[in-house]
Amino acid sequence: MKKVRWGVLGAAKIAREKVIPAMRGSDLYEVTAIGSRSLEKAKTAASQLDIPKSYGSYEEVINDPDVDAIYNPLPNDLHVSYTLKCIQAGKHVLCEKPFALKASDLKSVISARDEYGVKVGEAFMVASNPQWIRVKEIIGSGDLGKIKAVQGFFSYFNRQEDNIRNKPENGGGGVWDIGCYPVFTSRFALGEEPQKLTALLDFDPDFGTDQLGSVILQYPSAQMTFSISTQLMPYQRMFFFGEKKALEVRIPFNAPIDQPNEIHIHHGDITGHQVEVIQMPISDQYTKQADDFSRAILEDKEVPVSLESAYQNTRILEAIFQAAKENRWVALT
């Protein structure tokens, strides 16, 4: 295979605005087809994004012999079923987060992946972002001392009735949409799996989706707390507190592509003057994700975020709902 030829399911906002624009001009891959429930919509997206083929269904993309790999940015409730169709057609699949709404669903995806011998992974672009790779290295180096506490926050304001984030039937709500990020990045940076958790969730009375949540996770070496909201001013941060220093990821999730990402190392001066600023080279985390995933296909390597990782993340997110509903700690081991 010379270049990986990608097909896209749905003219999703994330695909049109971030992922496909980030995949232009590569020697490793190209986007060759996009399908939508509306042919008109597919044609418009294809002409705006220079994609040669447009289809009025997802099935035509999946069955196109000139497509090697599929990017699946459909609503959360359609991730597993369409990924399975792609795998059964012999295609590699990069599926948007959260990959599944039930961890048990990932078992059938893992079996299908193994049966068809294709690459399948979850689109946590943060795993390919150099700032998170650096965070993991710094924590692993021991320079901060033993990490004992982690804190996260992620919020935005969205009460649009027609948005998939506000529809329970599409797997909407804050936990699935953004709670997945503090969970994934803490697992990624610490290199550990949490043992138990408890949570508070508040649900929007009109939509029935969770709009505010706070979670405590017990990792083997650290305690983590994070809050998320779909109805607060936009904000995001992650902190890792060590015995000697603390590390702050300034824009941990929606990292900009036009300015350097910054990691701040706090040396313990509470006035905030002793802060070491690490500026990362400007990069696009969606390009890095496409590079890493395409290389995994071309060189038969591990995908950046495996289905086994997706299984763990989903188990944790499911446990958050259980803990909040039953008002108790839920064991994860």
Q: Which residues here bind ligand NAP, judged by CB under 6 A?
A: 10-14, 36-38, 41, 73-76, 78, 96-97, 123, 125, 164, 170, 177
**Sheet strands side by side (includes 330-331):** 275-279, 262-266, 246-249, 231-242, 147-157, 223-229, 210-218, 196-203, 330-331
CB of 17 to ligand NAP, least distance (A): 8
CB of 243 to ligand NAP, least distance (A): 33
The answer to whether residues 252 and 181 touch, using CB atoms and an 8 Å cutoff, is yes
Task: Say how many CA atoms lie within 13 Å of 108 toward its Cβ.
Answer: 13
Taking the least distance from each CB to ligand NAP, the nearer of 198 and 230 is: 230
Taking the least distance from each CB to ligand NAP, the nearer of 97 and 266 is: 97
CB of 313 to ligand NAP, least distance (A): 13
CB of 251 to ligand NAP, least distance (A): 13
Taking the least distance from each CB to ligand NAP, the nearer of 73 and 242 is: 73
User: Which letter, b or e, does each residue of 191-215 get, where b requires 16 or more Cβ atoms within 10 Å of its Cβ?
Assistant: eebbebbbbebebbeebebbbbbbb
The answer to whether residues 42 and 67 touch, using CB atoms and an 8 Å cutoff, is no
Gap between the Cα atoms of 55 and 66, Å rounded: 13
Taking the least distance from each CB to ligand NAP, the nearer of 123 and 222 is: 123
CB of 73 to ligand NAP, least distance (A): 4
Gap between the Cα atoms of 93 and 96, Å rounded: 10
DSSP string, 256-310: -SSS--EEEEE-S-TTS-SEEEEEPPP--HHHHHHHHHHHHHHTT---SS-HHHH
Taking the least distance from each CB to ligand NAP, the nearer of 49 and 74 is: 74
Taking the least distance from each CB to ligand NAP, the nearer of 13 and 102 is: 13
CB of 72 to ligand NAP, least distance (A): 8
3-state helix, strand, coil in the chain (%, to 5): 40, 25, 35
Taking the least distance from each CB to ligand NAP, the nearer of 76 and 151 is: 76
CB of 108 to ligand NAP, least distance (A): 19
Vertex 64: Cα angle to 58 and 65 (nearest 5): 155
Residue 112: CB atoms within 10 Å: 19
